[in-house]
Amino acid sequence: GNSVTQMEGPVTLSEEAFLTINCTYTATGYPSLFWYVQYPGEGLQLLLKATKADDKGSNKGFEATYRKETTSFHLEKGSVQVSDSAVYFCALSGPLSGNTPLVFGKGTRLSVIA
């Protein structure tokens, strides 16, 4: 079945550092890929998405490129801020998903220190 593996945290960075959170997936066909962000005490918010190979999703300075050849969708940001501290979830949806339309990774907690 479909699955998502993302790097385990926590990740601690200094302000203005470069961020990469790795995400790889296993899926049949051509899934859509998502990054969600969860700030403390809140629900998940869609951060960005990509629906086909080589698409780049971007939002709020974050980027991720849908790489079918490496089955990856790594999240990057050039200069993180304290306000980026949150838990980040990689997810996929696609055909043959059965009763699980959206498959999540376990989340990566990011802490940014000033």
Partner 1 sequence: DAGITQSPRHKVTETGTPVTLRCHQTENHRYMYWYRQDPGHGLRLIHYSYGVKDTDKGEVSDGYSVSRSKTEDFLLTLESATSSQTSVYFCAISIAFTDTQYFGPGTRLTVL
* Choice between 42 and 69, CB closer to partner 1: 42
Q: CB of 60 within 8 A of CB of 47?
A: yes
Structure tokens given for 52: 């086909």
Residue 105 within binding range of partner 1, rule CB under 8 A: yes
Among 23, 107, 110, 112, binds partner 1 (CB under 8 A): 107
Tokens 């296993």 belong to residue: 26
Site for partner 1 in 26-65 (CB under 8 A): 32, 34, 36, 42-46, 49
* Choice between 17 and 58, CB closer to partner 1: 58
Structure tokens given for 34: 């998502």
In angstroms, the CA 12 to CA 73 distance is 21
* Choice between 13 and 102, CB closer to partner 1: 102
Q: CB of 92 within 8 A of CB of 2?
A: yes
Contact footprint for partner 1 (CB under 8 A): 32, 34, 36, 42-46, 49, 89, 93-95, 97, 99-102, 104-107
